[in-house]
């Protein structure tokens, strides 16, 4: 990767003034509109701020979403649609459509588009952190946490909010369910790659040695001695590779490199157990079974569906305390600015987001962002 944001650009959007002159007929209503404008601008700035942290991002997004829900949730004591939902036009670009924006006069469209960008930011933060030369254990945990948060946002958007759109997303648009699914699966698959590669290789070979060892025991119990020997030989091969990786792991720089896995009791016990079980099988095959040892190791029965990082459940913040039924009643749609609707332009070109040019200190192998 040349840049940590190389693969997936942030969605660009046109400015939104929330100037509902005439409609917002009270000081409290006008304050909500002003606060929507400032919190939106602050959140957009946070996306491109190289110093932004997950804590700042959460605070900025919560402040905006808490107010925006005042244009989405029913506030008049009924289950009818919020009268403000369709009053403001919003324009957003899509990752695969260049700078041409699509527009919808729908606050739900704004919610899902902005939340989509929040999720993308978390993947970028994770990629940037994983690209550090000497990542600490706490930073590695933050990488995992950020990717799981991003996956949780995408999952919630797909299941809860995108289905509410009046105008469904077209094929190839960011909000199309297949695109959202791709992001979720990609994030889940790449989360494990954020931790240190040598250690993961070590664990892989160690567990494969365990699997083939116990599979060999099962085959022997089923009177398949030849296959049991071959499975235990495979266990020996994986164990030897794990031993070699232990040495390589100790020579790498970074947190945890002072650990000595090959000197731990559990590691030594597995080596002894494989050796003793293989010798037992070879003895019994020599005077009881006389089975031929196959050239290929018996296949393991791998049916596990676990191992993927679970998305962190995403919840919108509570409705802002400013958005009360009393204030809601002071928004008068009969006095709406008709000229705003006439200014709605579809397929308008919007300048792309200028993202910080941050280069990782090492190749993270993470391509979500």
**What pLDDT digit, counting tens, does each position of 194-224 carry?**
657 666 688 889 989 999 999 999 999 999 9
DSSP state of 90: E
What's the whole-number mean pLDDT along residues 29-41? 98
For residue 128, the model assigns a pLDDT of: 86
Output the six-digit token pair for 132: 């550090």
- Would you state the pLDDT for residue 337? 58
What's the mean per-residue pLDDT of the chain? 86
Three-class SS state of 81: coil
Task: Write down the number of H helices and E strands in the chain.
Answer: 10, 2
- Cβ 237 vs Cβ 275: under 8 Å: no
In terms of C-beta density within 10 A (0-12 exposed, 13-18 middle, 19 or more buried), how is residue 348 classed? middle
The H-assigned helical ranges of the chain are: 27-47, 54-68, 107-130, 137-156, 177-190, 197-221, 225-251, 265-284, 325-328, 338-342
Please give the angle made by the CA atoms of 357, 361 and 363, to the nearest 5 degrees. 100
Confidence of residue 4 (pLDDT cuts 50, 70, 90): very low
pLDDT band at 344 (very low <50, low <70, confident <90, very high): very low
CA distance 156 to 362: 32
Alpha-carbon gap, residue 170 to 14, rounded angstroms: 20
180 secondary structure, DSSP code: H
What percent of the chain lies above the pLDDT cut of 90?
Answer: 61
Q: How far apart are CA 151 and CA 309, in angstroms?
A: 9
pTM: 0.68
Q: Which of 43-52, 90-99, 220-229 has the lowest mean pLDDT?
A: 90-99
In this predicted structure, the answer to whether residue 291 has a pLDDT above a threshold of 90 is yes
Q: Name beta bridge partners: 102.
A: 92
Rounded to whole angstroms, the Cα distance separating 127 from 363 reads 10
Beta-ladder partners of 100: 349
Rounding to the nearest 10 degrees, give the CA dihedral for residues 103, 109, 110, 111.
-170
């Amino acid at each position: 990767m040349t840049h940590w944001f190389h693969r997936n650009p942030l969605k660009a959007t046109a400015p939104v003034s929330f100037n509902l002159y005439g409609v917002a007929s009270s000081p409290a209503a006008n304050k909500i509109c002003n606060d929507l404008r400032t919190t939106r601008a602050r959140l957009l700035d946070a996306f491109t701020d190289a110093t932004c942290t997950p804590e700042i991002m959460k605070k900025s997004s919560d402040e905006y979403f808490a107010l925006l829900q005042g244009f989405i949730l029913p506030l008049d004591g009924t289950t009818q649609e919020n009268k403000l939902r369709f009053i403001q036009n919003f324009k957003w670009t899509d990752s695969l459509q260049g700078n041409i924006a699509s527009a919808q006069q729908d606050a739900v469209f704004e919610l899902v588009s902005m939340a989509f960008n929040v999720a993308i930011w978390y993947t970028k933060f994770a990629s940037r952190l994983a690209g550090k030369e000497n990542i600490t254990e706490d930073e590695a945990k933050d990488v995992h946490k950020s990717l799981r948060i991003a996956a949780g946002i995408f999952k919630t958007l797909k299941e809860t909010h995108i289905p509410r759109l009046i105008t469904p997303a077209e094929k190839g648009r960011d909000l199309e369910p297949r695109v959202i699914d791709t992001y979720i699966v990609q994030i889940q698959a790449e989360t494990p790659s954020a931790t240190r590669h040598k250690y993961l290789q070590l664990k892989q070979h160690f567990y494969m040695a365990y699997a083939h060892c116990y599979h060999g025991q099962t085959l022997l119990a089923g009177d398949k001695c030849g296959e049991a020997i071959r499975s235990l030989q495979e266990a020996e091969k994986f164990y030897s590779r794990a031993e070699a990786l232990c040495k390589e792991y100790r020579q790498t720089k970074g947190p945890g490199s002072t650990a000595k896995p090959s000197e731990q009791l559990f590691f030594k016990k597995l080596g002894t157990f494989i050796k003793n079980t293989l010798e037992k099988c070879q003895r019994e095959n020599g005077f009881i079974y006389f089975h031929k040892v196959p050239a290929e190791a018996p296949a393991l029965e791998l049916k596990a569906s676990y191992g993927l990082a679970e998305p962190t459940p995403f919840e919108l913040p509570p409705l802002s305390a400013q958005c009360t039924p009393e204030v809601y009643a002071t928004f008068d749609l009969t006095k709406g600015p008709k000229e705003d609707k006439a200014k709605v332009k579809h397929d308008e070109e919007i300048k792309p987001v200028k993202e910080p040019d941050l280069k990782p200190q090492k190749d993270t192998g993470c391509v979500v962002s």
